[in-house]
Structure 1
Amino acid sequence: MNITRENIDALNAVVKVDIAKDDYSDKVEKILTDYRKTANIPGFRKGHVPMGMVKKQYGKAVLVDEVNKLLQDALNKYLTEEKLDVLGQPLPKQQDDINWDADSFSFEFELGLAPEFKVELKSKKPITHYNIIADDKMINEQIERIQKQYGKIVSEKEVKKDSEITGTFKNEDKEIDNTTTITLDQFKGKTTEKKFIGAKVGDVITLKTKGLFADDHELMNALKVPHDDAHDLDIEVTFTITEINSRELADLDQDLFDKLFGKDVVKSATELKAKIKEDAEKQFVQQSDQKLLNDVTEYLVENTKFDLPAEFLTKWMQVAGETEMDEAQAKEEYEKSEKSLRYQLIEGKLMEENGLKVDFEDVKNNAKNMIKMQMAQFGQMNPTDKELDDIAARVLGNQDEVRRISEQVVSQKLLNLYKEKANIKTKELSYDAFVKEVYGDK
């Protein structure tokens, strides 16, 4: 067997594999001999079928199968030994005239080669890493929500600004008939609020759904309509009030603290504020880190310049999926996935250059930490190592979960690398200010 490579350019190559009779003849002969021992052919006893007849009936199929196996094994071994960093998979060049009666065969494969490039982590302009804090306004609002949640419900005669209003939304044409409880702060704008203020049980209020709530998902829940219907829904509905309540705020006493956090974990309003601040800011870290990861990723993709074997990858995408695509579909798919492919190459290079690896212990420990946090949400604060190991073993028996957790581990290792080596500045601000700066004034 002989394998040669012709480099078309830095990103494309053609590998030619020449297979001679000596490479496959012994294997083919052995398989046909075994067939002869077991073949059931009318007119012959088992094991006494003439070899010529066996070869005539099975010879070409066995030859094709063995040559293809030999070809794939040789090609994979060649790519490994030559340390070729290929993109996608080798594509066989079209050959319609293979003469399987010949003694030797030649096959050609197109290769798409990964580009050579450098990754510069330090941007000229620093990338912001947000330190999101829970300010007094947020903490006080959270305390008030807790007091309302655990407070006493008081029946009211008419709707006030802070009332909880139970009633039924109706629209006959759309078959809407849903009873729900709402508060006035859910509505978008003051016009709707004014319609409710002073209303009494039994009153019927007519409302337009377009722009009724600040978020269309609230409209979906209030009317119990499908997600797609809720967006841009523009109809009139009636709301019949059946109950009006207010909440008498719960006292900030030890009984409330124990309900929230367990016996004597929090013993004063000051400690309550500190606990709420601590818990909130732990959640904010995840959002802040995800924002940093996204921003560094965007910077790297936009500023790490290299070419890709676009024509090869487009051809590969035509045949790589479960269903084949035509050329136009494959080109569209390549354009959609190019950015992701670029980042995969950048990510791989950063992992290699910085000695970052993900092993099974990393994945297992990440799974156990995830399980521990989930158990804590249900009050199981101190699971044993055996419990964690047993649950982790079940989770990691699912290959999709292993892949998902592995990706999380990679992201965390890269995040740590970015924090250490990228040009980052820290900016401290409240959660509301973070949302406004990052996502706009919602």
Structure 2
Amino acid sequence: MPPRLVSRTAVLGLAGLLALTGCGTDVDDITVGPGKGWPAAFHDARNSGSSPVTGSRALALDWSRPVGGPIAAPVTVGPDGQMFVTTRTSTDCVLFSFQMRTGRKRFCNPMGPSAIYAGSAVDGGTNLYIGEDGGMNAYNALGQPRWRTPVAGVPVSVQFTGNGNVLSVTQFGQVDVLSRQTGDRMVPTYQMLGEPDALENPGLNRPPDGQGLDECAVGGPQCSIANVSAVDQDTGRFYATVWRPGEGTAELVALRYGDKRIREEWRAAMLTEGSATSPALAADGSTLYVGDNANRLIAVDTSDGHTKWTRDLGFPPRGGFSIADDLIIPAGDDGYLLAVRDLGDTSEIAWERKDLALRGRPVQTAGGTGYTVASIGETLTLFTFDTATGATVDSDELPGAQGTTEGTSVGAEGEVVVATKIGELFVFKPEK
């Protein structure tokens, strides 16, 4: 990089820092709602895995590129198309940002090694909020750090509350609500696993920040909080899966942020063999959908945690669900593309495609269009399907892609972004 450019960048960084520290305000006019783009792991606070953008039924590969290391968390996309992804490389680069239109790298930042597993969320000003080893961080659109707040563990769940704060949950169960402006704690920290007893364990040391993260992808017992919390922004209630040490069954827990504190409202031990599926909330907030490692999709009444119905999927759901109206589409690399319809006190299979072996997370868009990556032999292909029938309406190969994918995201202009676990990005754009 030419020296003149370095000098100008430093000046810009200093100006940004002065603006943040000298011109603060209590008025927050930057939106955090679901909007367009892909602001969180499963698009929105509810973890709906669905976009309000009308999806195209004719896509074409625009560009692809490797990021230099594996990918273990979904790509988040800002309202202007700026993309964010973490990896692990032999250099200091861990957090990458790319431009949607060109695929050019905008910046890469050093972070802790466990940032590859961390959650992230983007607000309407393209500010990024992302976890790493022992901390929750905020960066602006240029990659300049805004603040860092220490936490115990790694924030695997990052969401926005209804009043525009950042909700951070680590794999150890530490819950914090942080100001997006400053990173200050808005309420006292809440520990889902309880506080250790210093009298009974006087020599107890804090575990390494990255402990147990390698089991989060399969919902193993060493990762107590493996999934992204679903948030009801209207009520302040949020839902987490918790596997407490020594317990035989994981729990679904409802908590509420309000009245300057976080409190637990109910818990239900229902997740047999754990869960690697982030819970997803129905649009009206009355039903929560969650999966467990006993192959079940479970519909839960959010008022008290009682089970409305269960359905054996025949494979363990992984990652999350895509929900639009009464249609639930699960993910899981051991399964195939199918849709379940919620009938209130029971469910039915709306349609199924046993010919499409899932290699990623299906998503839905407005207009009744969905996208998923499936394997045809050794080839990974992005399938565009009709969500009412499951019928294929388009297919596009991921050239040279291998293995499986970490996630599928939808941009503000209907672009479809696919990230493979081995570390490649594929961006498809609507054909004119």
User: So what's the TM-score if we normalise by structure 2?
Assistant: 0.17
Higher relative contact order (CA 8 A, sep 6+): 1
Instruction: Specify which structure has the higher proportion of helix.
Output: 1
User: So what's the TM-score if we normalise by structure 1?
Assistant: 0.16
Instruction: Specify which structure has the higher proportion of strand.
Output: 2
